[in-house]
Structure 1
């Protein structure tokens, strides 16, 4: 555990479980269920499907990251699945692309990646947390409202306790 109050960027590489947990959060709850639309420059065949030239294509990342042919027990929250492997959400591993991939990856990804890890690490390091009294069941906490971005149906209400 860190012996200082402020978590620095250099500390993140020494926190593999935090990194794995954040990957699992993005796998379970990507910022947007569908990536920005792409347009097919040429006709293409994908498996048994023909995609015509100029077709708009939407990539359903929510479905990819819950696909049982890719993930063991995809509905379960298991950060351990990311320990001791090199899968990351930087766009190279197509099974985990909450920010997209390639030329169309979210332009804010680098700063979001840095800030999210630092913010979560700082909040975990400096506080203990408890759920608000009367908090809903874990099943209800996982329900989402689909739209252009994903929103939780029941908002998480956690109370920080200074350590």
Structure 2
């Protein structure tokens, strides 16, 4: 197995595991009375991330990987774990509001708003760059920014209603 395939397999399995975790957390939150906000844009997020991952497989499975950029990507994975651990059972891929529960203010959330989206935006750029796919990184970064613009507005509005 080449390093390229190993990296892509890792990211694919990681994302599938995260989807499982997100669904489990969503079910548990909804059972406690949580509500979803901004569901209309969720398919666009899923589609964007699926297209990003499929595109990477198609373009890079047989390409060399820059170890320097791979180290940057690995650091982003540590940040991703910190974000998920900080949110705990509240981490999900959807905007789920649990009435009466305070907004999370620990981990990276004590320093910056929306650290998860910052990590994801960096990942969307860095992994393609690790494979020398700069145009791919730019195109998906722009598309992600457009989706996140809407998502962050919806999330901020929901969190302001029920801080």
Greater per-residue helix proportion: 2
Larger radius of gyration: 1
| TM-score, normalised with respect to structure 1 | 0.32
Tell me which of the two structures has the higher relative contact order, counting C-alpha pairs closer than 8 angstroms and 6 or more residues apart.
Answer: 2
| TM-score, normalised with respect to structure 2 | 0.32
